[in-house]
Amino acid sequence: MVCLGNICRSPAAEGVLRSVVSARGDAGRWEIDSAGTGGWHIGQLPDKRMRVHALRRGLNLDHICRQVHGSDFDDFDIIVVMDSDNEQNLRAMARTIADEDKIVPMSAFVSMATRYDYIPDPYYEGAEGFELVLDLLEDACANMAEALTR
Ligand code: 4NP
């Protein structure tokens, strides 16, 4: 799961997907992590606002922020990006066509009615922005787990 800062959207996506696969009794088959294209918050817990909103839904986000690196293309089968900036950055980092083929937008798994074709950055938004991100991620991660285990 990749976003810009790795303190809002991608650690939330990591937490939501962990919860989804755990509820499916499938956690052992998944290796789930998150990272940011930017390095400003390395070593930090997720943004307090995202932790509070996630906790209201029963999700404890305890990921420690890290920056994405080239070896992530070796370590993971898919790299899920939250928006088109993340996608462009990851495509620039890809070393091979096979690396590029691993990059998938989270929006591809969203099925709920929404005006967004990406996961909008909530960093400069209020509570509604964080709730929207969690709504989109819960929908998308359920569909992703279903699609990838089918
Ligand atoms: P994220 O949100 O990409 O969802 O983690 C952001 C967090 C921090 C910053 C930007 C976006 N920042 O500029 O520090």
Under-70 pLDDT residues of the chain: none
pLDDT the model gives residue 150: 80
4 CA to middle of ligand 1, Å? 5
pLDDT at 86: 98
List, in sequence order, every residue forming a beta bridge with 80; answer none if it has no partner: 104
Expressed in angstroms and rounded, the spacing between residue 140 Cα and the centre of ligand 1 is 20
Per-residue pLDDT, 9: 98
Residues that are catalytic? 3, 9, 121
**What mean pLDDT is reported for the chain?**
98
Q: How many domains does the chain have?
A: 1
Tell me which residue of 99, 79, 82 sits closest to 140, measured CA to CA. Answer: 82
Residue position matching structure tokens 């699609």:
147
Measured from the CB, is residue 5 less than 6 Å from ligand 1? yes
53 lines ligand 1 (CB under 6 A): no
No. of helices (H) and no. of strands (E), the chain: 6, 4
DSSP strands (E only) in the chain:
2-3, 35-36, 79-81, 103-105
| Residue 121: domain span | 2-149
CATH, residue 125: 3.40.50.2300
**pLDDT given for residue 107 in this prediction:** 98
